[in-house]
Amino acid sequence: MNSIQNYLKEHPNIIAVIKLIFFLYLFLFSLQLMGDALKLFGKDFSETLISTTSNPFVGLFIGILATSIVQSSSSTTSIVVGLVAGGAIGIDSAIPIVMGANIGTSITNILASLPQINRSNEFRKAFAAAVVHDFFNFLSVLLLFPIQLATNFLGILASKMTNVFEGIGGLSFLSPVKALTKPVSEFMVEKSLTILPNEDFAGWVLLIIAIIFLFLALKYMVSALKVLVVSKAKDWFNKYLFKNPLRAFVVGIILTVMVQSSSITTSLMVPLAGAGLLTLRQVFPYTIGANLGTTITAILAALITNQPAAVVVAFSHLLFNLCGTLVWWPLGSVPITMAEKFAEYSTRSKFIPVAFVLTIFFIIPILVILISN
């Protein structure tokens, strides 16, 4: 026993890796539980919300709000596909909602950075890594949304691509992250529904538990990562995964296709950036890759359905992110500088990041929707 203790003292990296694996699982589980909890009281609301408008401008904000509530652009896109297939909304109305979903899904990154808010230096780096995703999506929407309104170029191109791929069939596989976390999350949801009085109450209780788990996981993940920074983990990241922007971009695509969630893969980089393992310039191409990766998963799933509407929506999502990538990757200094400046400003007051989340993801979309009605 003493020999084991002595060995572990001499090799602190082993303890750090064990802690990292455990709290990484807790982090991934908290995201899964948070999504399942929000769906208990948010999915029906989101579906009703999405079906209420044919105004593209309002649709953009509905996409932001609906995705912020259910914490999943895949869920929002699935609802949109179902409504388009059923004739409740047209494809031209669906595309702005998908654009909004792209913005809404980036809320998870910001939530992942908040546990470090009391440590200014770490929070500045983590928050910048989180909001660079937001600024990339904001800039893409600002550029492409007016063009889409004027020309419907995404719908036209997506329809042509759908004709090319018609009847090709799709591909479905189980995300390894979901295989590890979803059974436990579903068990907790089932138990809460039998113990607690109704779905809404169960959703709120599970959401609080998920947030507690998220904060605990991130706190101890960062402490474990710091030990690994002292060792040569940073060199390993730089040498293999993030050696250059193209490699980081490809890693972002592959990891997101495997995990089937850009929220998870981009949120994973937030504590790594906070701990100093990655720079913002390494995180940015990875984030763009993750954005594209999540659309590939959606296309593979949509092709299985043999519903042209589903495939058109999935391809329009891909084209939107592809256009954003072609424009903003070469001009990466713009979203990166915006993220750095905003993160620096946010370290001055804890109120700023909280106000940012509430205003961008909830208050403005709600006001736009209410005014339009």
pLDDT per position as a tens digit, 53-98: 678 899 999 999 988 887 777 778 777 877 776 677 888 888 999 9
Q: Tell me the pLDDT band of 229, cut-offs 50, 70 and 90.
A: low
Q: What is the pLDDT of residue 176?
A: 66
Count of beta carbons in the 10 Å neighbourhood of residue 150 = 8
Residues 222-247 as b/e (b if ≥16 CB within 10 A, e otherwise) read: bebbebbbeeebbeebbeebbeebeb
Distance CA 146, CA 317 (A): 16
What is the mean pLDDT of the segment spanning 13-20?
75
Higher-pLDDT residue of 47 and 237 is 237
Tokens 């949120």 belong to 267
- Pair 112, 266: CB distance under 8 Å: no
pLDDT tens digits, one per residue of 316-367 = 999 999 999 999 999 999 999 999 999 999 998 889 999 999 999 999 999 9
- Pair 289, 250: CB distance under 8 Å: yes
pLDDT tens digits, one per residue of 106-150 = 888 898 888 888 888 889 999 999 999 999 999 999 999 999 999
- As a whole number, the mean pLDDT across the chain is 83
pLDDT tens digits, one per residue of 255-299 = 888 777 788 888 888 888 888 888 999 999 999 999 998 888 777
Q: How far is CA 242 from CA 137, 223, 265, 316, 362, in A?
A: 22, 22, 14, 29, 34
Q: How far is CA 234 from CA 89, 181, 239, 243, in A?
A: 48, 28, 9, 11
- Pair 242, 282: CB distance under 8 Å: yes
Q: Tell me the pLDDT band of 246, cut-offs 50, 70 and 90.
A: very high
Q: What is the pLDDT of residue 358?
A: 94
Q: What is the pLDDT of residue 333?
A: 95
87: region left, alpha or beta (phi > 0 left; psi from -120 to 50 alpha): left
Higher-pLDDT residue of 341 and 303 is 341
Q: Over 70: is that where the pLDDT of 19 sits?
A: yes
Distance CA 20, CA 8 (A): 15
Q: What is the pLDDT of residue 27?
A: 77
Q: Tell me the pLDDT band of 231, cut-offs 50, 70 and 90.
A: low
Torsion of CA 349, 352, 109, 13, to 10 degrees: 0
Q: Tell me the pLDDT band of 46, cut-offs 50, 70 and 90.
A: low
Q: Indicate the length of the chain as a whole number.
A: 373
Q: Over 70: is that where the pLDDT of 179 sits?
A: yes
Q: What is the pLDDT of residue 226?
A: 64
Q: Tell me the pLDDT band of 169, cut-offs 50, 70 and 90.
A: low
Higher-pLDDT residue of 157 and 108 is 157
Burial (0-12, 13-18, 19+ Cβ within 10 Å), 14:
exposed
What is the mean pLDDT of the segment spanning 182-204?
86
Higher-pLDDT residue of 196 and 285 is 285
Percent of the chain with pLDDT over 90: 32
Q: What is the pLDDT of residue 361?
A: 94
Pick from 73, 144, 136: which is nearest to 104 by CA? 73
Q: Tell me the pLDDT band of 167, cut-offs 50, 70 and 90.
A: low
- 3-7, 237-241, 341-345: which is most confident: 341-345
Count of beta carbons in the 10 Å neighbourhood of residue 248 = 23
Q: What is the pLDDT of residue 340?
A: 96
Q: What is the pLDDT of residue 44?
A: 62
Q: What is the pLDDT of residue 208?
A: 87
Q: Which amino acid is at 239?
A: K
Q: What share of the chain is helix, strand, coil (3-state, %, to 5)?
A: 85, 0, 15
Token pair, residue 179, equals 């295989």
Higher-pLDDT residue of 57 and 50 is 57
Going 303 to 309 to 313 to 319, the CA torsion angle's sign is positive
